[in-house]
Structures are given as C-alpha cells and as structure tokens.
C-alpha cells in the first residue's frame, strides 16, 4: 500500500512529484530558492526578477511555473508542510499498534520542527513587520493546509481499531491538527509537554486507552 506521504505528494501544489530524474524540476528549484531567500532576507525583499536571476531562468519562466507572488507564497508553505507531514508519517510508521503513542510522536515531531523551520520562523517574525502574503496561509487562509494535514492523519488513523464512528474519528483528527498548528504558531510549553497533553486528550477521546 502506498504511504500517506506518497498519496498526498501529488495533492500538494508546491511539492515536486517523487523524482525519478536526476535533476529537480525548474518549479521545485524556484520554490526551494524562494524559501531560502525568504528565510535569509525576508519575504518583502523577494521579487520574481531576483528569484529568476538566482535560479538562472527568465522572469517569464518564473511566472509560467508559479504564477504571481501570492501563488509562490502558497507553493512555499505547502512545500514546507511536506516536511511536517514527513514527521507525522514516520511517527505513525513507528507506532503501528498504538494510536495514542503515534499521536504523541507525531505532535512532538511537528512541534520540534516548528521550532527550527527557517521559513516558519520568518513567517512568524513578519507578524510585527511588513505585510506578508505568507502569514495568512497559516491563520485566516489556512484551510488548504489544514485539509492536507487532516488527510494525512485520516490515512493513518483509520488503520487503527478506535471503536469510534466516523464522525468521532473526524472530530479527533480535526482536534489534533488544530491543537498542533496552534502550538506551532504560539508555543505554550516544550514540544514534549505539549505532545503529552495532546496525546492525553486523544486517549480520553478514545475511551481512556493510553491516556495516562
């Protein structure tokens, strides 16, 4: 069975498909370069012309591949989401028989990455700086990101015997995703402490199994 990560890869607009060629696509190189430049110098300093120059393509190629700067912002955020989903995927792979422990490991992995991810740190720093196309993608316009994260969890959670009906499972998935994103945006403790709390909540929803 294909992993949830591979299933979702084709649905993420900023992610390149699983590469079978030696060279990454122009689109992938543009996005990765834009992420690096944003992390180093800020989103407001990035122009399509500068991005084209760094990658060695024409400005028209940048527009053809990505559209305008708002579309580039979405592609960047979705690409970085892929790294977070890698952590989630691995957590469930490592805990095939214990859903609560899988949730704990997934939450901790995502939260730890949130502390160090260069693009995320740049986005959060922009809250007190210049207007950004990036921050709303994590807040007011976060629906695509939440949908991708929920889909990843859904692919995994439905493989566990939860004893819950589909509506309750969906509620648990949504709760975990929103809690993790909230704490990534505004940490309220260490990744381990927060992950333990989220796992405890998940255990209670699941009827107390693994909730201590």
pLDDT tens digits for range 34-83: 999 999 998 889 999 999 999 999 999 999 999 999 999 999 999 999 99
On the question of pLDDT at 139 being above 80, the answer is yes
Residue with tokens 């393509």, as numbered in its chain: 57
CA angle 155, 95, 144 (to 5 degrees): 30
Cβ pair 196, 97 in contact under 8 A: no
| pLDDT for the residue numbered 123 | 84
- Dump pLDDT digits (tens) for 183-204: 999 888 999 999 999 999 999 9
**pTM for this prediction:** 0.83
Helix axes 143-157, 69-94, angle to 10 degrees: 20
CB count, 10 Å around CB of 41?
12
Per-residue confidence band for 211, with pLDDT thresholds at 50, 70 and 90: very low
Per-residue confidence band for 6, with pLDDT thresholds at 50, 70 and 90: low
Per-residue confidence band for 128, with pLDDT thresholds at 50, 70 and 90: low
| pLDDT for the residue numbered 193 | 97
What is d(CA 144, CA 137) in angstroms, rounded to the nearest whole number?
8
On the question of pLDDT at 127 being above 50, the answer is yes
**Which residue ranges form the domains of the chain, and what is each CATH number?**
4-205 (1.10.357.10)
Q: How far is CA 65 from CA 10, 39, 171, in A?
A: 16, 21, 37
What is d(CA 15, CA 79) in angstroms, rounded to the nearest whole number?
5
Per-residue confidence band for 115, with pLDDT thresholds at 50, 70 and 90: very high
What is d(CA 200, CA 162) in angstroms, rounded to the nearest whole number?
15
Would residue 3 be called left, alpha or beta, if left means φ above 0 and alpha means ψ between -120 and 50 degrees?
beta
């Amino acid at each position: 069975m294909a992993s949830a990560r591979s299933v979702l890869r084709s649905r993420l607009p900023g992610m390149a498909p699983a590469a079978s060629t030696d060279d990454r696509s122009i689109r992938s190189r543009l996005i990765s370069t834009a992420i690096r430049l944003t992390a180093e110098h800020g989103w407001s300093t990035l122009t399509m012309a500068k991005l084209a120059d760094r990658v060695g393509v024409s400005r028209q190629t940048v527009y053809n591949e990505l559209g305008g700067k708002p579309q580039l912002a979405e592609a960047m955020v979705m690409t970085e989401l892929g790294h977070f989903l890698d952590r989630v995927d691995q957590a469930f792979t490592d805990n095939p028989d214990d859903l609560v422990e899988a949730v704990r490991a997934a939450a901790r992995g995502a939260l730890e990455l949130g502390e160090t991810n260069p693009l995320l740190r740049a986005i959060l720093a922009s809250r007190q700086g210049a207007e950004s196309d990036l921050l709303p993608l994590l807040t007011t316009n976060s629906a695509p990101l939440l949908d991708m994260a929920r889909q990843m969890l859904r692919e995994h959670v439905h493989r566990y015997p939860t004893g819950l009906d589909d509506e309750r499972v969906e509620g648990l998935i949504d709760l975990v995703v929103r809690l993790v994103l909230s704490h990534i945006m505004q940490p309220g403790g260490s990744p381990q402490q927060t992950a333990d709390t989220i796992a405890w909540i998940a255990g209670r929803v699941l009827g107390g199994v693994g909730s201590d």
